Amino acid sequence: MRTLRDAAADADVHIGAAVDVESLRTNTDYRETVAREFDAVTAENAMKWGPLADGESGYDFAAADDIVDFAARHDMYVRGHTLVWHRMYPEWVRPWARSDTEMRRLLSDHIHTVAGRYRGRVDAWDVVNEAVDDDGGLRENAWLNALGPEYIDRAFEHAAAVSDADLFYNDYGADGLSAKADEVYDLVSDLVAREVPVDGVGLQLHVFDDVVPPADVAANVERLTDLGLDVHITELDVGIGEAVADRDEQAEYYYDVVSAAVDAGVDTVVTWGVDDGQSWLPARGFGDAPLLFDEEFRRKPAHGAVLDALGE
């Protein structure tokens, strides 16, 4: 039976999933589905600073290494996620108790340690994640408070110094044409104009309360690629509920949005998870059964829809 990986190879794009390291280690069906169906993986949580932390200034890379090693064994493209975020950093960082100079050093040390470790093994990094506030402007966070807006420049510069991966800015709510999408566009346009080493933009595309029109996704992709940037769909899921009514509508939307994105220039599409049983959306009331495989790793109509979209 034709797999997503087969279709992606023919279309010259990557199709991937965010993977959970414990499921990869312990669940044979999960592991076999990832290896068979996808040619790209994102570490769902294992590369975030909090899970990596092992005491003050220490690191435990076992989980992240397992994902990268699995990808290498199966000839998979690896997206590292994420170096700088306003959440999931270790408690000992305590930005309110540290000087701006210390925070600047922590930012540099963390990026050099993590991105440097995976040089040549990670193909793309989400360097800065979700820096734009939903209400406009940059999100208030420890890095902005300590370094000002230049923390974004520094993050990309540090990553470029130690990694040969493509370097991405990643965000949600900026997938189509919206005020936040405009903010992200302005942010990355400015980075490009000032020759900050950004290579691409990741559009998350979590769909649960309303659909993002595929034509708007395509228009946004096109204006970003016109800047000379790569664009990836990094965290795709489509919850059944308010946005789509059932599996058939879900499949139709997957087909429409993947077709539109790839036609507009997206070369990597990553779903945020492998199977419905481990998706983050239902637990938060953000829609049900959002992925391409059900809890038993059976292919859903959405799987066939993505196959068809890639086949075109």
Angle in degrees, CA 214, 218, 221, rounded to 5: 135
Helix/strand/coil for 178: coil
| Helices 28-37 and 4-11, packing angle to 10 deg | 20
Radius of gyration of the chain (CA): 19
Query: Parallel, antiparallel, or unpaired: how do β-strands 40-43 and 14-19 relate?
Result: parallel
Helix/strand/coil for 100: helix
Question: b/e per residue, 121-136, with b = 16+ CB within 10 A?
Answer: bbbbbbbbbbbbeeee
CA–CA separation, 88 and 264 (whole Å): 33
Helix/strand/coil for 91: helix
Q: What is the maximum span of the chain, computed from C-alpha positions, in angstroms?
A: 58
Catalytic member of 37, 44, 130, 183 = 130
Type of residue at 188: V
Instruction: Report which of 152, 250, 248, 242 is spatially closest to residue 201, judged by C-alpha positions.
Output: 152
- Any residues with CB less than 8 A from the CB of 292 and at least 6 apart, and which? 4, 37, 254, 271, 299, 300, 302, 303, 306
CA–CA separation, 133 and 203 (whole Å): 15
- Lookup result for tokens 């664009």: 231
- Lookup result for tokens 């669940």: 27
Instruction: Report which of 40, 42, 33 is spatially closest to residue 15, judged by C-alpha positions.
Output: 40
Scanning 53-129, the segments in alpha helix (DSSP H) are 62-73, 100-117
**Is 235 part of the annotated catalytic residue set?**
yes
**Is 130 part of the annotated catalytic residue set?**
yes
Catalytic member of 37, 44, 183, 235 = 235
Catalogue the active-site residues. 130, 235
